[in-house]
């Protein structure tokens, strides 16, 4: 029976953990009425990050609420801490940096203007199928 080197096992575990965190962020955004939720797998495109999560919100207040709930979910449930945040005060585009997972929260105008979905078109799109709360 062949054994997998510890380093390779660790890398695989980290990649799966990044995916788990991206899904948790997407689910949290969904539960807070986020729309047009998109997960992009960037692992074959860039070494900088593994996943983008993109979400559209209807107002600055909603974007703030989604941002705070994602922070809470990732910290409480997955013991992960955000490395940085940008755009929170301005509100039209909030970026949450978790290292290998980057979460983009947009209002409709900013998402349409910057079109990150198109900019990263070579990335694999991961279908997001939300689970209903309580399941």
pLDDT at 39 over 70: yes
CA angle 59, 61, 65 (to 5 degrees): 115
Q: What is the pLDDT of residue 9?
A: 37
DSSP the chain: -----HHHHHHHHHHHHHHHHHHHHHHHHHHTT-EEEEEEE-TTT-SS-SEEEEEEESSHHHHHHHHHHHHHHHHHHH-----EEESTTT-SEEEEE-SSEEEEEEEHHHHHHH-HHHHTTTSEEEP--PPPTT-
Q: What is the pLDDT of residue 91?
A: 78
Q: pLDDT grade, residue 132 (50/70/90)?
A: confident
122 exposure class (CB count in 10 Å sphere: 0-12, 13-18, 19+): exposed
92 exposure class (CB count in 10 Å sphere: 0-12, 13-18, 19+): middle
Residue of higher predicted confidence among 11 and 43: 43
Alpha-carbon torsion (32, 37, 41, 45), positive or negative? negative
**Mean pLDDT rounded to a whole number for the chain:** 89
Q: What is the pLDDT of residue 5?
A: 43
pLDDT digits (tens, 9 = 90+) for 47-69: 999 999 999 999 999 999 999 99
Tell me the whole-structure pTM to 2 decimals. 0.86
Alpha-carbon torsion (121, 124, 126, 127), positive or negative? positive
What fold is seen in the domain 23-126? Beta Polymerase; domain 2 (3.30.460)
Provide the residue ranges of all domains of the chain, joining segments of one domain with +: 23-126
């Amino acid at each position: 029976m062949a054994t997998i080197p510890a380093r390779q096992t660790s890398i695989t575990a980290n990649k799966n953990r990044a995916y788990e965190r991206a899904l948790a962020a997407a689910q949290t955004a969904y539960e807070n009425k986020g729309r047009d939720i998109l997960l992009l797998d960037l692992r074959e495109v860039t070494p900088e990050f593994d996943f983008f999560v993109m979400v559209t919100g209807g107002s600055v207040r909603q974007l703030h609420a989604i941002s705070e709930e994602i922070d809470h979910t990732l910290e409480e449930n997955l013991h992960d801490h955000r490395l940085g945040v940008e755009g929170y005060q301005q509100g039209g585009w909030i970026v949450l940096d978790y290292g290998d997972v980057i979460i983009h929260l947009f209002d409709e105008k900013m998402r349409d203007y910057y079109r990150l979905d198109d900019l990263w078109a070579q990335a694999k799109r991961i279908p997001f199928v939300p689970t209903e709360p309580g399941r």
